[in-house]
Amino acid sequence: MKQTDPPDHLDAPATVAGDSPYALFRNRDFSLFLIGRFIAVFGLQMLSVAVDWEIYERTKSTLALGIVGLSQMLPIILWTLPAGYIADNFNRKRVVLQMTVLICFSALGLTLISAFNASVASIYLCLVVLGSAKTILWPANASLLPHLVTREQFPRAVTFNSGTFQLAQMLGFTSGGAVVALTRHAWPVYAITVLTSFIYFIMVTCIRRDHKAPERQPFSLSNLSAGIHFIFENKIILGVISLDLFAVLLGGATSLFPVYARDILKSGPSGLGILTAAMPVGAVLCALLLAHRPPLQKAGRSMLLSVAAFGVATVLFGVANQNCFGSAIPNAVWFWFAFLMMVICGAVDNISVVVRHSLVQLLAPDEKRGRVSAINSLFIGTSNELGGFESGFTAWLFGQAIGHSNATGSIISVVIGGIGTIIVVIAVAWIWPQVRKYGKLA
């Protein structure tokens, strides 16, 4: 089958001269966008850690922690379709700025609530507002990036963007915990998020290139759902999103890290922190490697192989313990082997992210790019949440529910998830051969 070429619709700023992968940073607008986003994600990740700590510290309830996730997921469900419509029918840069201001005020609200020990219900209310702002921001933010670089630079820009996101998450997670540990309060973290959001606002304001919104389409169900229709009509995008959706849904070993750290690998809280950092470390290393290479020549095959490798590494992580192989090998050796498997998962997952995000932005026409990005974010966001639930439920089912330990149930859950991921790769390659045959990522 003939490969479908990306439509020639990207707004192309002046090409940045130079063969170095870092020549892209001579593009002032892209540098402002990337650095600003790093700062913003860093602050938001710090906030998420502090919220979890404060809620549990004040309530001592796991149900209260569950409501934190619900208060973040509810806005995703409510706002995804309108968010795509907004990104396509309004100035995207202005949308990013407005939602960043709303995030800033939400973080300020959390700061005051925490400092004056206001009710937990008011924290949830701020989280709903914060989640709404993030949901509307995401497709506008993602759709703005193609306007800042040329088509040739776009895959490398996505690589840097993905690596920066992972690095910000990793540093934000550890920094948020450190600030809470030092101050014994969450409000200083929230105050830092106010500052990081304000910095991002200033940096986006300084970006010169802009998205000129087309003639506004009527606010109707047909226009709201245009992104869904486009995805189902474009077999390549449908295939890559489905692959990522089910791979994340089945391969969610990260939600079981506490069980592995405490009961299986016997590494304790410090081991949990190290395991949590493993996938971001792999993603950052992969981003640096991809940045020094030309765009993937066989992008579809690379994505399939990377997700298959993710499944294999997940299976190996699942069985890397004395429960499966006896005590001949010390737990410390198994721990670092498990860490290495998660680093590999992070690296190959980053390849999948780069290919998926590039194809979504390259193949979607500009007038629908926001709505397609919104549906993409819905699939990925909900699959992360549902993947954690699937892993926990499977671990419970094969653990306590049938008379085994949490450790045994978790091992079975992780291994089944890894095998399921490999099966999904085979199914996608067979159902959507267009994905397997897709060539150069540019």
pLDDT tens digits, one per residue of 113-143? 999 999 999 999 999 999 999 999 988 888 8
pLDDT at residue 145, rounded to an integer: 84
pLDDT tens digits, one per residue of 235-263? 888 888 888 878 877 776 777 777 787 78
Confidence of residue 438 (pLDDT cuts 50, 70, 90): confident
- Distance between CA atoms of 442 and 440, rounded to whole angstroms? 6
More confident residue, 146 or 365: 146
Q: How many beta carbons lie within 10 A of that of residue 98, not counting itself?
A: 18
Given a cut of 80, is residue 89 above it in pLDDT? yes
Amino acid identity for residue 144 in this structure:
L
pLDDT at residue 175, rounded to an integer: 85
Q: What percent of the chain has pLDDT over 90?
A: 28
By CB atoms closer than 10 A (0-12, 13-18, 19+), residue 216 is exposed
Q: Is 403 helix (H, G, I), strand (E, B) or coil?
A: coil
pLDDT tens digits, one per residue of 354-413? 888 778 777 777 677 777 777 777 777 667 766 766 777 777 788 766 656 778 888 888
CA-derived radius of gyration, the chain: 22
By CB atoms closer than 10 A (0-12, 13-18, 19+), residue 11 is middle
Given a cut of 60, is residue 435 above it in pLDDT? yes
Residues 207, 92: contact at Cβ < 8 Å?
no
Lowest mean pLDDT across 3-7, 170-174, 197-201, 274-278: 3-7
- Residue 263, CB-side half-sphere exposure with 13 Å CA sphere: 12
| Nearest partner of 313 among 346, 265, 290, judged by Cα | 346
Confidence of residue 10 (pLDDT cuts 50, 70, 90): very low
Given a cut of 80, is residue 25 above it in pLDDT? yes
- Distance between CA atoms of 208 and 212, rounded to whole angstroms? 12
- Residue 57, CB-side half-sphere exposure with 13 Å CA sphere: 13
pLDDT at residue 353, rounded to an integer: 82
Taking residues 65-77, what's their average pLDDT? 77
pLDDT tens digits, one per residue of 303-344? 899 999 999 999 999 988 877 776 778 878 889 999 999 999
More confident residue, 146 or 426: 426
pLDDT at residue 326, rounded to an integer: 65
Q: What percent of the chain has pLDDT over 70?
A: 86
pLDDT at residue 125, rounded to an integer: 95
**pTM, 2 dp:** 0.72
Q: What domains lie within the chain, and their CATH numbers?
A: 23-209 (1.20.1250.20), 222-442 (1.20.1250.20)
Given a cut of 80, is residue 439 above it in pLDDT? no
Residue 369: alpha-carbon gap to chain centroid: 18
